[in-house]
Structure 1
Amino acid sequence: MGQSVFIPRELDANEPRVAASPETVKRLAGLGFEVIVEKGAGLGSRITDQDFAAAGGTIGTAGDAKKADVVLKVRRPTDAELKGYKSGAAVIAIMDPYGNDAALAAMAKAGITAFSMEFMPRITRAQVMDVVSSQANLAGYQAVIDVAYEYDRALAM
């Protein structure tokens, strides 16, 4: 088998997102990657383990991270998660690097290659990977819904 990609369940209780969709898993599997999705990783986003399995992923445990060449996460890995990754693995996530020197040093010490999605260039060709704009857009939609809920009159659409 070729290289493996691991998609973990996010440990932060306030983080419902998952780093890949079934469509992403299908694409990666189609390219020859072994895709392992941690059991329950998508539940906060209303994606079941069966959805990931139907797309070509294998449902695994956090321990499967040890054999992964690439780890896809929403947020930067915790120190506990880093201990479960193999040296030389690449981690792709929103790293929030500014002011978090200790976390970056821990990744370097663990032999992890970190790719910070916030640093993707904001150009047309990279637009599909622009996490800053896409997440800001979602926050804007949510703000409108929250205002409409609190407003005591009908809103024109």
Structure 2
Amino acid sequence: RHWPALGRPGVAAFLHTFSPYFLPVVAASQLDEMASVLRFSLTTLEVAGSGHRPLISSIRGLRTHARLHEAAKPAEAIPGIPYKNMTIGVPKEIWQNEKRVALAPASVTALTKKGFNIVIEDGAGMEAKYYNSAFEEVGAKIVDRSSAFGADIVLKVRQPLIEEVDLLRGGNTLVSFLFPAQNQELLKKLAAKNMTAFAMDCIPRISRAQVFDALSSMANIAGYRAVVEASNHFGRFFTGKFVWKEEVVVWTCCTEPM
């Protein structure tokens, strides 16, 4: 390939690529800067004399972008509390007709593996058919009501009643459905105790936050329940079939004689 000579003042050499889509000409005065950014590898690049084409042995371009990250400062460590020093408490739900519990034994297993200490109020999972023994088998500790509310992180299903806020020690974290617009007085009491509260009902329904979308999962279960209740009042034979999501643990009914 013939290389055209450059007669520009102040330019001693140039780099010409074989690709029409990538840097047709780079002056030698810019070469160091471009090599730093684009990671060129030059074996030989020199000029025989004024008006002559450059002599190039080999050029490799765009090897890696690691050079761009070398100048970045390492991220500073964020101070925090080790998981093994934190306790998660699950109090019993006392709202009328509320049978749910904030943690199932399977979730307790996942949290204890990370190092958290889990405390469950005595009888918290009874209405959901999770007995104390099921929680104890996976590493949770059964405690009284005040100890469950005094944990570093308190998990609930329904928002705390006003009288339950007094059981929170203050300065700890609450994760629950809160419905802030309907519970202004509750929010004021939580703020007065310097609480950190996460409203599960306010998590946006986007793909990135889908794993935290407890609102949709609860609404999904309520929708199935509505169909079951409707079928109970339907006058004729009901032939509907339910298809559950894989992550929903369902009860299997025996339909054949033993």
Q: Give the shorter-chain TM-score range.
A: over 0.9
* Contact kept? 2:170, 2:194, Cα under 8 Å: yes
Q: State, as a whole percentage, how many aligned pairs show the same letter.
A: 36
Question: Residue deviations 1:106-156, cap 9 Å, x none?
Answer: 000011111000111212232232122111111110111111111111123
Give TM-score, length-normalised by structure 1.
0.94
Q: Could you say if the C-alpha distance between residues 66 and 151 of structure 1 is closer, same or farther in structure 2, counting changes exceeding 3 Å?
A: closer
Q: Which residue of the partner structure matches residue 196 of structure 2?
A: 113
Runs of 4+ in 1 over 4 A off after TM superposition: none
The offset of 1:66, in angstroms, is 5.3
Structure 2's unaligned 5+ residue stretches are 1-83, 241-258
Give TM-score, length-normalised by structure 2.
0.58
Residues of 2 paired with 1:107 and 1:73: CA distance? 14
User: Residue 136 of structure 2 aligns to a residue in which SS?
Assistant: helix
Root mean square deviation, CA, Å: 1.3
1:86 to 169, 175, 178: 169
The offset of 1:13, in angstroms, is 2.7
Q: Output aligned runs, 1:20-39, within 5 Å.
A: 20-39=103-122
User: Residue 174 of structure 2 aligns to a residue in which SS?
Assistant: strand
User: Residue 87 of structure 1 aligns to a residue in which SS?
Assistant: coil
Residues of 2 paired with 1:41 and 1:9: CA distance? 4
Q: Which residue of the partner structure matches residue 142 of structure 1?
A: 225
Residues of 2 paired with 1:135 and 1:96: CA distance? 14
Residues of 2 paired with 1:43 and 1:92: CA distance? 21
Q: Which residue of the partner structure matches residue 4 of structure 1?
A: 87
Larger Cα-atom Rg:
2
Higher helix share: 1
Asked which structure has the greater RCO (Cα within 8 Å, sep 6+), the reply is 1
Structure 1's unaligned 5+ residue stretches are none
Question: Residue deviations 1:76-135, cap 9 Å, x none?
Answer: 112222222222110000001113211100000011111000111212232232122111
